[in-house]
Amino acid sequence: MNALSKEVAEVTRKTGAPATTLPALEAWVAEVAALTQPDAIHWCDGSDEENEALIAKMLTDGTLLKLNERTHPDSYLHRSHPDDVARVEHLTFVCSRNRDDAGPNNPWMAPDEAHAKMDALFDGCMRGRTMYVIPYCMGPIDSPLARCGVEITDSPYVVANMRIMTRMGAAALARIEREGTFVKGLHSTGELDPNRRFIMHFPEELTIKSYGSGYGGNALLGKKCHALRIASWQAREEGWLAEHMLIVGIENPKGETRYIAAAFPSACGKTNLAMLIPPEGYRRDGWKVWTVGDDICWMRPGADGRLYAINPEAGFFGVAPGTSSKSNPNALATIRRNTIFTNVALTADGQPWWEGLDDRVPAFDWRGNAYDSKRGPAAHPNARFTVSARQCPSWTPAAEAAQGVPISAIVFGGRRASLVPLVFQARDWRHGVLVGAAMGSETTAAATGQVGVMRRDPMAMKPFCGYNFADYFAHWLSFDRPGLKLPPIFHVNWFRKGADGRFLWPGFGENMRVLEWILDRAEGRAGAVETPIGHLPRADDLNLDGLDLDGAALQTLLTFDRDGWRAEFDSLGAYLDEFGARMPQALKDEQRRIRELLG
Q: Is residue 539 part of a domain?
A: yes
Task: Output the pLDDT for position 452.
Answer: 60
Residue numbers of the domain that contains 111: 3-63+85-239
Whether residues 277 and 151 fall in one domain:
no
Whether residues 271 and 125 fall in one domain:
no
Whether residues 157 and 142 fall in one domain:
yes
Task: Output the pLDDT for position 10.
Answer: 58
353-362 long-range contacts, CB within 8 A, separation 24+:
353/378, 353/379, 354/320, 354/321, 354/322, 354/323, 354/378, 354/379, 354/383, 355/321, 355/322, 355/379, 356/321, 356/322, 356/323, 356/324, 356/327, 357/320, 357/323, 357/324, 358/324, 358/325
Whether residues 234 and 277 fall in one domain:
no
Is 24 in contact with 176 (CB distance < 8 Å)? no
Q: Of 185, 218, 239, which residue constitutes the final position of a domain?
A: 239
Whether residues 168 and 263 fall in one domain:
no
210 in helix, strand or coil?
strand
Task: Output the pLDDT for position 87.
Answer: 83
Q: What angle do CA 3, 5, 10 make, to 5 degrees?
A: 95
Which are the contacts of 480, defined by CB distance < 8 A and separation ≥ 6? 428, 429, 430, 486
Is 519 in contact with 264 (CB distance < 8 Å)? no
**Cα–Cα distance, 363 to 346 (Å, whole number):** 6
Question: Please, what are the averages of pLDDT over each run of 10 residues along the chain (599 residues)?
Answer: 50 60 96 97 96 98 98 98 89 97 97 98 98 98 98 98 98 98 98 95 98 94 97 98 98 98 90 96 97 98 98 96 94 98 98 97 98 96 96 98 98 95 98 96 50 83 97 98 98 96 95 98 97 98 95 96 96 96 98 97
Amino acid in the structure at residue 425? Q
Q: Is residue 525 part of a domain?
A: yes
**Cα–Cα distance, 334 to 391 (Å, whole number):** 5
Q: Is residue 118 part of a domain?
A: yes
Q: Of 191, 211, 239, which residue constitutes the final position of a domain?
A: 239
The pTM for the full model equals: 0.95
Q: Is residue 425 part of a domain?
A: yes
Residue positions forming the annotated binding site = 87, 215-217, 224, 244, 266-272, 295, 382-384, 415, 508-511
User: In CATH, what number is assigned to the domain containing residue 231?
Assistant: 3.40.449.10
Count of structural domains within the chain? 2
Whether residues 150 and 291 fall in one domain:
no
Whether residues 426 and 553 fall in one domain:
yes
**Cα–Cα distance, 217 to 213 (Å, whole number):** 9
User: In CATH, what number is assigned to the domain containing residue 413?
Assistant: 3.90.228.20
Task: Output the pLDDT for position 89.
Answer: 86
| Crossing angle of helices 3-15 and 23-36, rounded to 10° | 90
Q: Is residue 370 part of a domain?
A: no
Catalytic residues: 268
Residue positions forming the annotated binding site for Mn(2+) = 224, 244, 295
**Cα–Cα distance, 402 to 408 (Å, whole number):** 18
Whether residues 247 and 188 fall in one domain:
no
Q: Give, in order, the Cα–Cα distances in Å from 460 to each of 36, 245, 262, 568.
A: 36, 8, 10, 18
In 414-550, the DSSP E strands lie at 423-425, 440-442, 454-456, 489-492, 529-531, 534-536
In 217-271, the DSSP E strands lie at 241-243, 246-251, 257-263
User: Quick one: which H or E segment has residue 183?
Assistant: strand 183-188
Q: Is residue 387 part of a domain?
A: no
Q: Is residue 323 part of a domain?
A: no
Whether residues 274 and 222 fall in one domain:
no
Whether residues 554 and 418 fall in one domain:
yes
**Cα–Cα distance, 300 to 322 (Å, whole number):** 34
Q: Is residue 308 part of a domain?
A: yes
Q: Of 204, 219, 239, which residue constitutes the final position of a domain?
A: 239
Whether residues 254 and 309 fall in one domain:
yes
**Cα–Cα distance, 197 to 218 (Å, whole number):** 10
Whether residues 501 and 417 fall in one domain:
yes
